[in-house]
Amino acid sequence: MMINRKDANELHEILDLWFTKLLTNSPIPNSILSGLRILRYLAWSFTIFVFIVTINYMASPIISIIHQNFEHVNSIKYSLPYPGVYPWSIDPPGLSYKLQLFIELIATVPLFCVTAGIDSLFTMYGFQMSENYHMAIYACDWHRNRRFMTSVLIMLTQKPLTLTACNFAIVSLDIFGA
């Protein structure tokens, strides 16, 4: 995320400005805001899912050790949340194993925060972009120009390709929303 932080900030500024302008100038703000409930449920369900997976990663080595002790296994296998090869020796249950386990458990917390936060943010961006489509379709329908509306719908289905190539679709949507 740190590598693409500038791009994420730029995307946030563009979409936030566009969405605020859309809400203030829109003849249908209630229709636009009705989709926020679905977005909120989607973001919360994703956050809860990521939280459950994160807790599972954090608890799996501890549960494995407890289960092996409960079953009276002679040689207990000590695992880590994120298996890997390290240049130092991790001799279970020594100090190096406990330190590595602690570091990996602590590193899981920011992993959860970034994953839940950024993915929920991109869900919001998707919602904002879909509302741009709704506004363009509404503007075309309002002018009762069916031939023009067909052209707009074709352009909107190609918008992801247009966004990567140039900003033509954003300029076009500004014209339709006016």
pLDDT tens, the chain, 178 aa long? 556 677 767 766 766 666 666 667 656 566 556 666 777 787 788 889 989 999 998 999 889 989 998 988 888 888 888 888 888 887 777 888 888 889 999 999 888 888 887 777 777 777 766 666 666 666 665 556 666 666 666 666 655 544 444 444 444 444 444 4
Query: Which pTM does this prediction carry?
Result: 0.57
Closest among 158, 139, 156, 120 to 39, alpha carbons compared: 120
Question: Are 120 and 46 a contacting pair, CB within 8 Å?
Answer: yes
**Cis status, amide bond into 81, omega within 30 of 0:** no
Question: Are 54 and 46 a contacting pair, CB within 8 Å?
Answer: no
The pLDDT assigned to 117 comes to 77
The pLDDT assigned to 46 comes to 84
The pLDDT assigned to 85 comes to 84
3-state secondary structure of 20: helix
The pLDDT assigned to 156 comes to 62
Retrieve residue 19's tokens: 């969405």
CA 62 to chain CA mean position, Å? 29
The pLDDT assigned to 94 comes to 83
**Domain residue ranges of the chain, discontinuous segments joined by +:** 5-177
Retrieve residue 44's tokens: 């919360």
Rounded Cα–Cα distance for residues 80 and 101 (Å): 6
Fill in the amino acid letter for 48: I
- List of residues 6+ apart from 50 with CB closer than 8 A: 112, 115, 116, 119
Retrieve residue 28's tokens: 């249908």
Rounded Cα–Cα distance for residues 23 and 29 (Å): 6
3-state helix, strand, coil in the chain (%, to 5): 80, 0, 20
